[in-house]
Structure 1
Amino acid sequence: MTPHTAPRIEIDTPEALLAQIAGRLSEETDIVTALGAVEADIAQLIPFVHCDVCLLDRPGWLVSHEVGIRTRWSRASGRVDHAPIRDLLQGRCGHMLTEDATHDPRYTYPGASCEPILNHNLRSRVNVPLRVMGATIGTLNISDTRIGVYDAATVALAQQIADVLAPSFHILHMAERARRSGRAPEVGHGSEEGLRRGALELTQALEHERQRVGMDLHDQTLADLSRLLREVTAEPPLPRATLASHLSQTITDLRRIIDEAVPTLLDLFGFAHAVRVHLERASGDAATVLEVMDRTDGAPDQLDPTVRSALFHITQEAINNATRHAGASRITVTVDRSTAHTLTVTVQDNGCGIPATPARQSGLMHMRTRARLISAGLEVLADHGTVVRVALRVQS
């Protein structure tokens, strides 16, 4: 059954369809059935003959899952540097759009795995990135046999669809990789339900994070720049030293927003260094004693990048709670191995502790969600302050 003949319920607005896609994804526990579950909804938003999701797999390789016409793309993994969408996967462009891919050298360059494009006349194509926490994890690719079907409006709509798909497909791909490597137990009913809840909660958490960054930029950066403009154009203008000081503070605040959204230090210098820098920035108080101890010789940096990123975000949230709400004079982060197969990260402070009914629980919810999604245990304990400990099973 093709997307053009698949039965579907007509829905008035794209927003309602996108919400329906998110709801369907929360009920699925593998990529193939998940893509099939939303095939008709995607086709109602953007008619297609072929649609596939490419996901970055082991270094330099990708895997594809498709609906509509079935091609060789989903029969075996492929190399990123041979993919018709390599420019998008390698970050050289923000999207790809073509009226006729069969005559577009970006898709049919020498060595490209472009046989399905040529054999099935996949002419009109739109390709957009799938992103999680700012990182590209793959692409959403939509094709039609007609020439010139898609335009810039299609690109924007495809990106909205991709933003809904990305968290769930990322989680399902992580679970699939874990099963392949033998690191995950068989999925039972209870863990299926946990995976569904985790996918939905992460989708919501990512949307909240997007809104938070937008609000920070609007409420702080835009306001600061507007104030600077008034100060520069005032008669008489403020002294240059004062303007330079205000501009420097605006740059610092903007850098903080960027650092919180994309933890580049984690990629550049490793887990322990990124934690230490975040701890120092979050504290902002020279009187607070801060300590970061890694007793594992950099074990977190040997983890899958996505798992390491989730572990960092859990640690980051625990540090934020300690610095913003606990009134602590000492904060210690310890990376250790409780057993040969268990990596632990502990954030301990000597502050006032967590109230029995905290006014803001989203931070704790995000930590628990991220821990569940990487199959880690999370403890929040009272011990002359607060202890947050995440334990992750790893290979020795």
Structure 2
Amino acid sequence: MPNAVTAIDLGKILSIQRAIAGQLDFRAVIRAVSNEISGLLPHDHLDVAVLSGDNAQVAAYETGLHTEWDAETSAFKPVAESPIRDLLRGRVGHIVTDDAQTDPRFHFAGAFSQPIFAAGLHSRLHVPLKVEGRVIGSLSFSTQEIGTYGDDEVEAAKVVADVLSSYFYSLRQSELARQHELQQMEAEARAEGLRIGALHLTEELENARQAIGMDLHDQTLADLTRISRSLKRLLARDALRPGDLQPLLEEVEHCVRELRVIIDNAKPSVLQFFGFGQAVEALLERSVRADSSLLDYRLVDDGDSGIEDLPGNTLVALYRIVQEAINNTIRHANASRIDVEIGRRDGCVRIVVADDGSGLSRTSGRRYGGLSNMQTRASLIQAALSVTPHPDGRGTRLEIVLPDPPAGGTPTAPDNRK
């Protein structure tokens, strides 16, 4: 047996402790350990596996041969998939094999053992890292030779593990505390973002109320005042002539049409009567008619999105986001075309509003002044919203993603944006 080790003397233990002193991450520690013990415990690959706070997952940090076990490649993996799960669960005191490529302990249904073959590993030695009798991870040595490790190497590895366990435990607790702090900061940032967004939304609602008041004053009230004066003039006559009422009737019809526009802008009643797709199409038609520079639009509704089954307040929020996106495009993007897609993918309702306009970088900042309001509307219905340059290099693409709610619950916004 090559490089047999009967014991590790006090001097070697002290040299290991000096080498790891001040190292602040797992990889730096194992690199220092690798250099100190290479003559005592031969290895082509050395790693430390560290359990998560709930002991359900494990992340590996390695030196020597690089494998897919490393946290940079695979991050945390379920303990159930680890080839050394029995060690991590405290079922065995150590694992040693002459050839891991043929040892059935490393190969079971669902095992993440492919790196054994990819790195050409044969001899493997694994010992637990323990603190107060609890397994917090493992220390593992591997070579590309067969039959490297025996009883002496097992005992030496256990001594090294005992030296390292408390240090790795401190690093793990520090990492968990840092993750908790980051999560708390992210939660506080989300809450603050929602608070600011809700404030903007409240301001928007107040502005909308003022706009409705001005519309009613400037348009409807003016029309009704004019109609009233016309009626007074007609009543002052001794007799009505043919055609006297026709102009008055046209003014009343005009007033009704204008009032309907104001009401529809305040509450999109077309959603109730015709559904989301037709409401958006009607919005696009009005936008094209009102803006001569917008030459064309396209609406694609696959009819199988399930959007019509959403609660009324959710539909209104989605409609308002789409309305704001279309209005921003018309006012600021100098676009000749706008496309809206309503569909379903990966268990989510997805709405895309895309244009061929001036894009994010060259567009006036005013175009996205209402983005915080759109983000707030999306957050309140637990949808994800993203605004990105269009993939073809021209224009802008806005996407809203609304997951299905879990059984008996509310939807959870997805983290990623595809």
TM-score band w.r.t. shorter chain: 0.3 to 0.5
Structure possessing the higher radius of gyration over alpha carbons: 2
TM-score with structure 1 length normalisation?
A: 0.46
Q: Structure 2-normalised TM-score?
A: 0.44
